[in-house]
Amino acid sequence: MEKTLGEGGQKKDPTIPNITSHAILGTRGAPGRVYYNVAMSSTTLGRFHIAHELLARAHSPASAAALFKEKIQQKPLFLKPTTAEDQPDNARESRRRERAKKEEARRKSKKPRPLSAKQKRALCIYEIPESERKYAIYEPMHRMWVGYIREILGLDANAARGYGGYVIPKSAGPLLASADYHGALLEVVRSRCVSRVGLKGIVVKDTKFTFELITKRNELKIVPKEHTIFRFRIPLADETLTGEDGVEQGAMTADKQSNSLVFELHGTAFENRAPERATKRVKLHLPPDP
């Protein structure tokens, strides 16, 4: 029997079919996908390939040849490309990853966690200390609030133009509804709790359901907004007097009180936080009976 030398100088049997293979990179499907096609001689395959013999038993020669060519001879073999992640880690790479994980866990453990609501109440973070419950401490804040609310209503601009203090409910109502009342001097004029009527003080905290006021007796009073009407006054002109010692005197006489704008707030309509009121759209409607 005649024998030939194959690749590498090895002897090759001529009865073994001559198989040539080629790889096609990125020709079909996803980019980078490797297809491996096995192309064989039709005469050799028809003589020796077992699949062709089995197809020839069940189909005509033409159909068997077509099926063999489509399903067997030209069928692509998908090979997944090898990446660095598929390679097994060596000892050095494993130690490096373990150190990175430990460093990440240590860094996360050092980051302080935010306090819960229970912890904040226990630490009294939002409570005003006894030493700071002084009416004189918050008087400058009230004067700042008067200038702030006058600027919102445009009283200073109107006075400069000679218009005076002219405001209407349709324009002033939405402005007052979205204003901040920290520093306002509020007075309770109507409430279902009779003992609260007449209470007057500067707002030091505006929560969702309450106003916290500092009275002239240096007492902190928590007044619920529900079923309560508050009143405050805005002077039409700058009525603060400055003495020789530089101390401002803001005592308002009866004549000066008559020359001021008086507004009333229905606390039931203000049951939301100050930041929420700034973006909330206010609709004009009849207030409920407190």
Residue 248 lies in a domain: yes
Domain final residue, candidates 79, 102, 122: 79
Residue 32 lies in a domain: yes
Same domain flag for 142 and 234: yes
Number of domains in the chain: 2
Q: Do 164 and 273 belong together in one domain?
A: yes
Give tens-digit pLDDT for 59-74: 998 998 899 888 888 8
Does residue 201 lie in a domain region? yes
What pLDDT sits at residue 33? 44
Residues 144 and 251 in one domain: yes
pLDDT for the residue numbered 34: 43
Tell me, yes or no, whether 86 lies in a domain: no
Q: Model pTM?
A: 0.54
Could you tell me the residue range of the domain that residue 22 belongs to? 15-79
**Residues of the chain whose pLDDT is less than 50?**
1-10, 12-46, 240-251, 254
Instruction: Classify residue 210 as exposed, middle or buried by CB count within 10 Å of its CB (0-12, 13-18, 19+).
Output: middle
Nearest 10 degrees: Cα torsion 212, 214, 217, 223: -20
User: Where is the domain boundary, 39, 56, 79?
Assistant: 79
Domain-located, residue 85: no
Q: Domain boundary at 52, 79, 106, which?
A: 79
Q: Is 163 in the same domain as 70?
A: no
Q: Give 109-144 pLDDT, tens digit per residue.
A: 777 778 888 998 888 888 888 889 999 999 999 999
Nearest-5° Cα angle at 209, 208 to 211: 95
Quick check: is 196 in a domain?
yes
Q: What pLDDT, on a 0 to 100 scale, did the predictor assign at position 114?
A: 85
Q: What tens digit of pLDDT does each residue of 1-16 get?
A: 444 444 444 454 444 4
